[in-house]
Structure 1
Amino acid sequence: MLAGERVRSTGLDAAALKPAECDVSRGAALPFETVVVDYEGREHLPERGVLESLAAEKEVYLTTPVRADGFDPLGEDSLLAELPDGVGRVLVAGHSAYLSDDERNKALAPRLGAAVESAPGAWVGTEGVERLALATGATQFELLGRSTPQDLRALRAAGFSGEVAVYAPTVLTDDPDEALDALGAYVARRRPVARALPEGAPTDAAATDRAREVLLAASSDFALVGGAEEVRQQVGALREAGADTVVGYPARGLEEFL
């Protein structure tokens, strides 16, 4: 089975691309209608022409931190004018690694509200700001975690009828060593995992004993891992819990999705 056919069979709805890792223009060849381009700092922001060309082929969303200069709806917003009309937005607080001290200290709530008002079709990232994101009523962009299925069911049971998209690092392999090489460092940064790991333990395929056990369990909690059919079942479980869209990030590189 070709890679594109394999990833299509997983049931994923969209792919997330990191411009610091790949040429996002190659997203036009992905077997999905929707592509989400992550924000990894201003120096990695794709050029307007690249986004325009990609948007001519796909439904494109660009992650934009509302506190970052250039995207601040209550301050310096010059980068917004550079976005092509066909590119949607994912409004997020922004990872601290990509924000200056001044940007991190900006008030989030009024900026999130103003951004949603100016971009009513935007998605809103929930990481760390779940209540603020929910208050906007916009599509919720949830990072897959251990409690995501339960949280989705609770959200639907409480009467939330809006759209929910789930972002999940994805590795199409049954090999635990390959999974750890791709995901170990990522899951090790998640707070409950970091607390459970033995100090100084390797987080890749070299992990053994308790560290390996913790990392493999966490990979199943915080990512989609396995053969195409196994991932399809995981995607189906998220839909059953209440997700409308599942966005996979190719943690082993874009080639795995092409």
Structure 2
Amino acid sequence: MHSETAVTEARVAFDAVALKPEECDVRDALDISIPRVVVDYEGRAAFPDRGTLADLAAAKDVRVTTPVRADGFDPRGDDALDRDIPEGVGRVLVAGHAAYLTDAERARAVAPRLGDATGRHPDAWVGTEGVERVALATGAPQFELLSRTTERDVRALRAAGYTGDIAVYAPTVLTDDEDAVLDAVGAYAARRGPVNRALPDDAATDGDAAGRAREVLSKAVRDYALVGNAATVSERVDALREAGVDHVVAYPARGLDDLV
């Protein structure tokens, strides 16, 4: 059930790397040893062109995140972009973040579109964020965001008899420098509901955080991201696999240089 682990040229074994096309040239993934790449969706304008995806797919196992409610990827409407993705490029099917959707797109029903899209792409992973029950009902591999309960939740799924693949997406910062960690993923952790509620009003969420805010964030970034030196992160990755995770997908929050 567990995937073959890929070891970076650096220090930690990850199964895949997630890249954001607005932050880097996704072709840079060709220069690292991790064989699987997940390209995040950051809006239609930033979506990589067919040639870029084909170049990546010639050397890597590539998946692209596609929001089933968005024009271009809607299996019940405009699916032109989806059909233009080169053969051999897989999907991570998601409901779609509201920030990247129009009002009309946000109003579309998720469940039937996920059902249709998994029928069209039977090897797709399905993102669980906000639609956990619907995602599980598809029977497709589950693509989850790392959280404080991930290990417990995965163990529960396995104990209940779920035998499909589970992938976990984790922002990753390979450093012991606490200011650098908070600069990279403090704001990300602060957006999680429990963290946001625990933070003082108008608190800094980066390396400038102090007092109660810094205390909350320093714990939260370790719940919602993989942070620390190589040994610390490796131990966390091993614990995730021991719990039943098949694919640990690292998003290098400080850039690809953190992984090489």
Scaled to the shorter chain, the TM-score interval is: over 0.9
The alignment-based identity, stated in percent, is 63
Task: State the SS of the aligned residue for 1:5.
Answer: coil
Q: CA deviation at 1:177?
A: 0.8
1:75 counterpart residue number? 77
Aligned ranges for residues 6-21 of structure 1 at < 5 Å?
6=10, 9-21=11-23
2:103 counterpart residue number? 101
State yes or no: 1:61 paired with 2:63.
yes
2:118 counterpart residue number? 116
What letter matches 1:50 in structure 2?
Answer: T
CA distance in 1: counterparts of 2:175 and 2:91, whole angstroms: 31
Q: CA deviation at 1:257?
A: 2.1
Per the normalisation by structure 2, the TM-score is 0.96
Match of 1:206 among 190, 205, 208: 208
1:185 counterpart residue number? 187
Match of 2:128 among 126, 129, 134: 126
Q: CA deviation at 1:251?
A: 0.3
Aligned ranges for residues 152-231 of structure 1 at < 5 Å?
152-231=154-233
What letter matches 2:52 in structure 1?
Answer: V
2:35 counterpart residue number? 33
Q: Deviations over 1:115-138 (max 9, x none)?
A: 000000000000010000001111
Answer whether contact 2:20 2:39 (CA < 8 A) is retained.
yes
What letter matches 2:108 in structure 1?
Answer: K
CA distance in 1: counterparts of 2:219 and 2:254, whole angstroms: 19
Q: Deviations over 1:214-233 (max 9, x none)?
A: 00100000000011111110
Structure 1's unaligned 5+ residue stretches are: none
CA distance in 2: counterparts of 1:38 and 1:14, whole angstroms: 12
Q: CA deviation at 1:86?
A: 1.4
CA distance in 2: counterparts of 1:182 and 1:171, whole angstroms: 7
What letter matches 2:152 in structure 1?
Answer: Q
Q: Deviations over 1:51-104 (max 9, x none)?
A: 000000100000000000000001110111210001100000000000000000
Aligned ranges for residues 236-247 of structure 1 at < 5 Å?
236-247=238-249
What letter matches 1:150 in structure 2?
Answer: R
The RMSD of aligned alpha carbons is: 1.0
CA distance in 1: counterparts of 2:230 and 2:143, whole angstroms: 23
Answer whether contact 2:144 2:169 (CA < 8 A) is retained.
yes
1:88 counterpart residue number? 90
Q: CA deviation at 1:11?
A: 1.7
CA distance in 2: counterparts of 1:70 and 1:206, whole angstroms: 41
2:9 counterpart residue number? 5
Per the normalisation by structure 1, the TM-score is 0.97
What letter matches 2:39 in structure 1?
Answer: V
CA distance in 1: counterparts of 2:33 and 2:215, whole angstroms: 34
CA distance in 1: counterparts of 2:82 and 2:254, whole angstroms: 31
CA distance in 2: counterparts of 1:34 and 1:99, whole angstroms: 27
Answer whether contact 2:9 2:32 (CA < 8 A) is retained.
no
- How many residues align structurally? 254
Answer whether contact 2:64 2:91 (CA < 8 A) is retained.
yes
Task: State the SS of the aligned residue for 1:247.
Answer: strand
Q: Deviations over 1:190-213 (max 9, x none)?
A: 111000000011111111110000
Structure 2's unaligned 5+ residue stretches are: 1-7
